[in-house]
Amino acid sequence: MSFPYSGLHCSISDMRPLIEAHRGDSSNAPENTLAAFRRALGSGVHSIELDVHPAMDGTLMVIHDDTVNRTTDGSGYVWDMAVDELLRLDAGAKFDRTFAGEKIPRLSDVLEMVVPTPVLLNVEIKATPAGALVPQNVARLLRRFGKEREYIVSSFDLSSLLRVRAIAPEIALALIGNGPEVLASARRHGFPWIHCNYRTVDKGLVTAAHGHGVRVAVWTVNHPDMLPYWRALGVDKICTNRPALMLAASGGLSRSSAA
């Protein structure tokens, strides 16, 4: 059986679990930047996760927090800032001076980098006071970059996922949260994925999810020596800040070796 996502053509049992780079290769480059995504792609990772917030005009910016304070040399809420203002900020130097000048990317910038590759892209929508139009804008932008391509849109916010489905029902959806609660909701709404805090996942949950056709991802797992445990549980994806190390621990089954 071939794995249906992102042009990965090998046994699904061999591929489990997929390794997903959390905010890119965020242990070796500033999170949610093109540098982090470039390094993740170079590692042979199967999937990349990122977060989006809207700029003042609604442009989708790739950043985890609702403010720029933690990761850049600026301050303020993302949605209170113009795109040009956001693009002038340095999103790299706080991580390491060698990344000085790295910028907050637009989602469109990341799509231009990732879409030509076979890597699965997981776009997390943050529920914020300024984010009412974000689900619609995400769905439309992903469609513009390739309706036939596989994506995952994830969120803690159920209503955001339902708004994505209303515009682009072909996009796979993932509810984020604690295992038992998100599984019940995913079953109710027909979502193909749940993305769970790893502390809330056990064999019973994975078995129940698979019995209902729901795939299970765990976050955020950074210790390669735990990979055999998660593989034994049968989880489908591991979200990690250390993708290269997790890939090495998985026996070297990278995207490039699996294609």
Q: Is residue 99 part of a domain?
A: no
The residues annotated with a catalytic role in the active site are 22, 64
User: Average pLDDT of 105-120?
Assistant: 98
Q: Is residue 137 part of a domain?
A: yes
Look at residue 15 in the predicted model and tell me its pLDDT. 61
Mean of the per-residue pLDDT values for the chain? 92
User: Average pLDDT of 86-100?
Assistant: 99
> Per-residue pLDDT tens for 25-34?
999 999 999 9
Q: Is residue 153 part of a domain?
A: yes
Cα atoms found within 13 Å of the Cα of residue 116, Cβ hemisphere only: 5
What pTM did the predictor assign?
0.92
Look at residue 149 in the predicted model and tell me its pLDDT. 85
Q: Is residue 111 part of a domain?
A: yes
- For the chain, how many structural domains are there in total? 1
Q: Is the pLDDT of residue 172 over 90?
A: yes
Q: Is the pLDDT of residue 8 over 90?
A: no
Backbone angles phi, psi at 229, to 5 degrees: -65, -50
**For the stretch 4-43, what's the b/e string if a residue is b when 16 or more beta carbons lie within 10 angstroms of its beta carbon?**
ebbbbeeeeeebbbbbbbbbbbbbbbbbbbbbbbebbbeb
Q: Is residue 178 part of a domain?
A: yes
Residue 56's pLDDT band (boundaries 50, 70, 90)? very high
Q: Is residue 76 part of a domain?
A: no
- CB-based contacts of 166, cutoff 8 Å, min separation 6: none
Q: Is residue 7 part of a domain?
A: no
Residue 168's pLDDT band (boundaries 50, 70, 90)? very high
Q: Is the pLDDT of residue 11 over 80?
A: no
User: Average pLDDT of 234-258?
Assistant: 83
User: Average pLDDT of 60-88?
Assistant: 99
Using alpha carbons only, give the angle 168, 109, 34 rounded to the nearest 5 degrees: 120
> Per-residue pLDDT tens for 211-222?
999 999 999 999
User: Average pLDDT of 140-154?
Assistant: 93
Q: CA Rg, the chain, in Å? A: 17
Residue 251's pLDDT band (boundaries 50, 70, 90)? confident
CATH number for the domain harbouring residue 114: 3.20.20.190
> Per-residue pLDDT tens for 179-188?
999 999 999 9
Q: Is residue 19 part of a domain?
A: yes
Look at residue 231 in the predicted model and tell me its pLDDT. 96
Whole domain around residue 142: which residue ranges? Answer: 12-65+106-258
Q: Which is it for strands 151-155 and 120-125: parallel, antiparallel or unpaired? A: parallel
